[in-house]
Amino acid sequence: MSQILIVEDEDRISSFVAKGLRAAGYAPTVAVNGRDGYHLAQTGDFELIVLDLGLPDQDGFTVLRRLREAKNNTPVIILSARNSVDDTVAGLEGGADDYMAKPFRFEELLARVRLRLRQDVPSADTSILSHNDLQLDLRSRRALVNGREIDLSAREFALAEAFLRNPGQVLSREQLLSRVWGYDFDPGSNVVDVYVRYLRNKLGAARFATVRGMGYRLVSEDA
Ligand code: CA
Protein backbone atom coordinates (compact mmCIF):
# COMPACT_ATOMS: atom_id res chain seq x y z
CA MET A 1 0.00 0.00 0.00
CA SER A 2 1.61 3.25 -1.11
CA GLN A 3 2.22 5.88 1.53
CA ILE A 4 1.34 9.35 0.31
CA LEU A 5 2.19 12.58 2.12
CA ILE A 6 -0.30 15.44 1.82
CA VAL A 7 1.08 18.84 2.82
CA GLU A 8 -1.92 21.14 3.04
CA ASP A 9 -3.03 23.60 5.72
CA GLU A 10 -6.67 23.77 4.74
CA ASP A 11 -8.55 21.11 6.64
CA ARG A 12 -11.41 20.62 4.25
CA ILE A 13 -9.04 20.06 1.33
CA SER A 14 -6.65 17.74 3.14
CA SER A 15 -9.52 15.62 4.45
CA PHE A 16 -11.11 15.53 1.01
CA VAL A 17 -7.85 14.34 -0.54
CA ALA A 18 -7.01 11.94 2.30
CA LYS A 19 -10.46 10.37 2.27
CA GLY A 20 -10.35 9.86 -1.48
CA LEU A 21 -6.85 8.39 -1.42
CA ARG A 22 -7.77 6.02 1.38
CA ALA A 23 -10.82 4.86 -0.58
CA ALA A 24 -8.52 4.27 -3.57
CA GLY A 25 -6.30 1.99 -1.47
CA TYR A 26 -3.49 4.36 -0.52
CA ALA A 27 -2.21 5.27 2.93
CA PRO A 28 -2.26 9.06 3.28
CA THR A 29 -0.61 11.15 6.01
CA VAL A 30 -1.36 14.86 6.41
CA ALA A 31 1.12 17.59 7.38
CA VAL A 32 -0.41 21.02 8.00
CA ASN A 33 2.65 23.20 7.42
CA GLY A 34 5.77 23.30 5.31
CA ARG A 35 8.20 22.49 8.09
CA ASP A 36 6.42 19.30 9.16
CA GLY A 37 5.91 18.41 5.52
CA TYR A 38 9.62 18.71 4.82
CA HIS A 39 10.62 16.62 7.83
CA LEU A 40 8.09 13.90 7.08
CA ALA A 41 9.13 13.82 3.43
CA GLN A 42 12.74 13.36 4.54
CA THR A 43 11.92 10.23 6.54
CA GLY A 44 11.81 8.41 3.21
CA ASP A 45 8.54 6.74 4.15
CA PHE A 46 6.56 8.25 1.29
CA GLU A 47 6.32 7.32 -2.34
CA LEU A 48 4.55 10.50 -3.38
CA ILE A 49 3.96 14.00 -2.03
CA VAL A 50 0.90 16.14 -2.70
CA LEU A 51 2.12 19.64 -1.88
CA ASP A 52 0.09 22.81 -1.46
CA LEU A 53 1.81 26.07 -2.38
CA GLY A 54 0.16 28.43 0.11
CA LEU A 55 1.30 27.18 3.51
CA PRO A 56 1.49 29.12 6.79
CA ASP A 57 5.25 28.94 7.42
CA GLN A 58 7.39 28.08 4.42
CA ASP A 59 5.49 27.93 1.16
CA GLY A 60 5.34 24.91 -1.11
CA PHE A 61 7.99 26.27 -3.46
CA THR A 62 10.43 26.49 -0.56
CA VAL A 63 9.63 23.01 0.65
CA LEU A 64 10.09 21.65 -2.85
CA ARG A 65 13.39 23.46 -3.35
CA ARG A 66 14.74 22.20 -0.01
CA LEU A 67 13.73 18.63 -0.83
CA ARG A 68 15.38 18.71 -4.23
CA GLU A 69 18.51 20.34 -2.77
CA ALA A 70 18.64 17.50 -0.27
CA LYS A 71 18.49 15.09 -3.23
CA ASN A 72 15.06 13.91 -2.23
CA ASN A 73 13.48 12.89 -5.53
CA THR A 74 10.12 11.69 -4.28
CA PRO A 75 7.55 12.63 -6.94
CA VAL A 76 5.67 15.82 -6.06
CA ILE A 77 2.27 16.93 -7.29
CA ILE A 78 1.68 20.58 -6.51
CA LEU A 79 -1.76 21.80 -5.47
CA SER A 80 -2.52 25.42 -5.73
CA ALA A 81 -5.25 27.99 -5.87
CA ARG A 82 -2.80 30.07 -7.82
CA ASN A 83 -3.34 28.76 -11.27
CA SER A 84 -1.38 31.29 -13.23
CA VAL A 85 0.98 30.09 -15.92
CA ASP A 86 3.88 31.60 -13.97
CA ASP A 87 3.21 29.43 -10.95
CA THR A 88 2.91 26.32 -13.07
CA VAL A 89 6.20 27.02 -14.76
CA ALA A 90 7.90 27.88 -11.47
CA GLY A 91 6.55 24.73 -9.87
CA LEU A 92 7.71 22.48 -12.65
CA GLU A 93 11.08 24.19 -12.92
CA GLY A 94 11.42 23.84 -9.16
CA GLY A 95 11.26 20.08 -9.59
CA ALA A 96 7.57 19.30 -9.29
CA ASP A 97 6.36 16.39 -11.38
CA ASP A 98 2.85 17.60 -11.89
CA TYR A 99 0.50 20.39 -11.05
CA MET A 100 -3.17 20.63 -10.05
CA ALA A 101 -5.04 23.92 -9.91
CA LYS A 102 -7.70 24.25 -7.23
CA PRO A 103 -10.54 23.58 -7.31
CA PHE A 104 -10.17 20.13 -8.81
CA ARG A 105 -12.13 16.93 -9.01
CA PHE A 106 -10.74 14.06 -6.99
CA GLU A 107 -10.64 11.77 -10.05
CA GLU A 108 -8.29 14.21 -11.77
CA LEU A 109 -5.89 14.11 -8.85
CA LEU A 110 -6.19 10.34 -8.60
CA ALA A 111 -5.27 9.94 -12.27
CA ARG A 112 -2.11 11.95 -11.66
CA VAL A 113 -1.28 10.02 -8.49
CA ARG A 114 -1.62 6.70 -10.34
CA LEU A 115 0.50 7.96 -13.17
CA ARG A 116 3.26 9.10 -10.81
CA LEU A 117 3.26 5.90 -8.81
CA ARG A 118 3.23 3.92 -12.05
CA GLN A 119 1.25 1.20 -10.35
CA ASP A 120 -1.56 -0.31 -12.27
CA VAL A 121 -0.35 2.00 -14.98
CA PRO A 122 -3.04 1.88 -17.58
CA SER A 123 -1.89 -0.10 -20.56
CA ALA A 124 -3.19 1.17 -23.87
CA ASP A 125 -6.45 -0.66 -23.32
CA THR A 126 -7.42 0.57 -19.90
CA SER A 127 -8.05 3.98 -21.33
CA ILE A 128 -11.37 2.33 -22.18
CA LEU A 129 -13.75 1.44 -19.38
CA SER A 130 -16.49 -1.03 -20.25
CA HIS A 131 -19.55 -2.34 -18.51
CA ASN A 132 -21.88 -4.54 -20.53
CA ASP A 133 -22.60 -2.63 -23.74
CA LEU A 134 -21.49 0.72 -22.29
CA GLN A 135 -17.98 1.95 -23.07
CA LEU A 136 -16.17 5.10 -22.04
CA ASP A 137 -13.08 6.12 -23.94
CA LEU A 138 -11.13 8.15 -21.40
CA ARG A 139 -8.79 9.61 -23.99
CA SER A 140 -11.27 10.89 -26.49
CA ARG A 141 -13.93 11.42 -23.77
CA ARG A 142 -16.48 9.54 -25.87
CA ALA A 143 -19.29 7.39 -24.55
CA LEU A 144 -20.61 4.47 -26.59
CA VAL A 145 -23.67 2.30 -26.03
CA ASN A 146 -23.66 -0.74 -28.27
CA GLY A 147 -21.09 1.00 -30.44
CA ARG A 148 -23.30 4.04 -30.89
CA GLU A 149 -21.88 7.33 -29.66
CA ILE A 150 -23.89 9.14 -26.97
CA ASP A 151 -23.32 12.81 -26.38
CA LEU A 152 -22.41 13.47 -22.72
CA SER A 153 -21.43 16.74 -21.07
CA ALA A 154 -18.09 16.83 -19.23
CA ARG A 155 -19.88 16.43 -15.90
CA GLU A 156 -22.03 13.57 -17.10
CA PHE A 157 -18.94 11.85 -18.45
CA ALA A 158 -17.13 12.27 -15.12
CA LEU A 159 -20.10 10.82 -13.25
CA ALA A 160 -20.34 7.86 -15.64
CA GLU A 161 -16.61 7.33 -15.17
CA ALA A 162 -17.01 7.22 -11.37
CA PHE A 163 -19.62 4.48 -11.78
CA LEU A 164 -17.62 2.45 -14.28
CA ARG A 165 -14.56 2.54 -12.07
CA ASN A 166 -16.62 0.98 -9.28
CA PRO A 167 -19.04 -1.43 -10.94
CA GLY A 168 -21.50 -3.06 -8.57
CA GLN A 169 -20.43 -0.89 -5.65
CA VAL A 170 -22.84 1.41 -3.87
CA LEU A 171 -21.61 4.99 -4.24
CA SER A 172 -23.07 7.48 -1.82
CA ARG A 173 -24.16 10.95 -2.91
CA GLU A 174 -21.31 12.34 -0.84
CA GLN A 175 -18.74 10.13 -2.58
CA LEU A 176 -20.06 11.05 -5.99
CA LEU A 177 -20.20 14.72 -5.08
CA SER A 178 -16.59 14.78 -3.95
CA ARG A 179 -15.34 12.69 -6.88
CA VAL A 180 -17.17 14.49 -9.61
CA TRP A 181 -17.82 17.98 -8.30
CA GLY A 182 -14.97 18.44 -5.82
CA TYR A 183 -14.93 19.80 -2.32
CA ASP A 184 -16.36 23.18 -3.27
CA PHE A 185 -19.83 21.79 -3.62
CA ASP A 186 -22.60 22.15 -1.05
CA PRO A 187 -23.12 18.67 0.46
CA GLY A 188 -26.87 19.37 0.70
CA SER A 189 -27.16 19.84 -3.05
CA ASN A 190 -29.30 17.46 -5.07
CA VAL A 191 -27.05 17.85 -8.10
CA VAL A 192 -26.03 14.16 -7.96
CA ASP A 193 -29.65 13.03 -8.27
CA VAL A 194 -30.20 15.44 -11.13
CA TYR A 195 -27.18 14.15 -13.03
CA VAL A 196 -27.98 10.49 -12.37
CA ARG A 197 -31.34 11.25 -14.00
CA TYR A 198 -29.52 12.72 -17.02
CA LEU A 199 -27.37 9.60 -17.29
CA ARG A 200 -30.40 7.34 -17.01
CA ASN A 201 -32.05 9.22 -19.84
CA LYS A 202 -29.02 9.04 -22.05
CA LEU A 203 -27.51 5.67 -21.19
CA GLY A 204 -30.46 3.58 -20.01
CA ALA A 205 -32.41 3.84 -16.78
CA ALA A 206 -31.84 0.27 -15.61
CA ARG A 207 -28.08 0.71 -15.42
CA PHE A 208 -28.10 3.02 -12.42
CA ALA A 209 -29.93 1.45 -9.51
CA THR A 210 -31.04 3.56 -6.57
CA VAL A 211 -30.05 2.02 -3.26
CA ARG A 212 -32.49 3.54 -0.86
CA GLY A 213 -30.93 5.70 1.81
CA MET A 214 -27.43 4.94 0.52
CA GLY A 215 -26.85 6.11 -3.01
CA TYR A 216 -26.49 4.56 -6.44
CA ARG A 217 -24.97 1.48 -7.95
CA LEU A 218 -24.01 0.52 -11.49
CA VAL A 219 -25.74 -2.76 -12.31
CA SER A 220 -26.00 -5.09 -15.27
CA GLU A 221 -29.11 -4.18 -17.19
CA ASP A 222 -30.36 -7.74 -17.25
CA ALA A 223 -29.78 -8.22 -13.53
CA1 CA B 1 -3.10 26.50 1.58
Ligand 1 center from residue 163 Cα (angstroms): 31
Q: Give the domain range for residue 69.
A: 3-118
Provide the phi-psi class of 120: left if phi over 0, else alpha when psi is between -120 and 50, else beta: left
Calculate how far, in angstroms, residue 209's C-alpha sits from the geometric centre of ligand 1.
38
Distance 148 CA to ligand 1 centre (A): 44
Q: Where are the alpha helices (DSSP H) in the chain?
A: 11-23, 34-41, 60-69, 85-93, 106-117, 154-165, 173-176, 191-203
Q: Are residues 132 and 113 in the same domain?
A: no
**Residue 130 to residue 75: CA distance in whole angstroms:** 31
Same domain, 199 and 143: yes
pTM of structure: 0.61
Whether 158 and 99 map to the same domain: the answer is: no
- The residues near 86 (Cβ < 8 Å, ≥ 6 apart) are none
Domain boundary pick from 67, 93, 118: 118
What's the domain count of the chain? 2
68 CA from centroid of ligand 1 (Å): 21
- Domain of residue 98, CATH code: 3.40.50.2300
Alpha helices in 50-100 (DSSP H): 60-69, 85-93
Q: How far is the CA of 107 from the centre of ligand 1 (A)?
A: 20
| pLDDT tens, residue order, the chain (223 aa) | 789 999 999 999 999 999 999 988 899 999 999 999 999 999 989 999 999 998 999 999 999 999 999 999 899 999 987 666 677 777 777 888 888 888 888 988 998 998 888 754 445 456 889 999 999 998 888 999 999 999 999 899 999 999 998 888 899 998 898 888 877 777 778 899 999 999 999 999 999 999 998 999 999 865 4
Residue 223 in domain = no
Instruction: Compute the distance from residue 80 Cα to the ligand 1 centre, in Å.
Output: 7
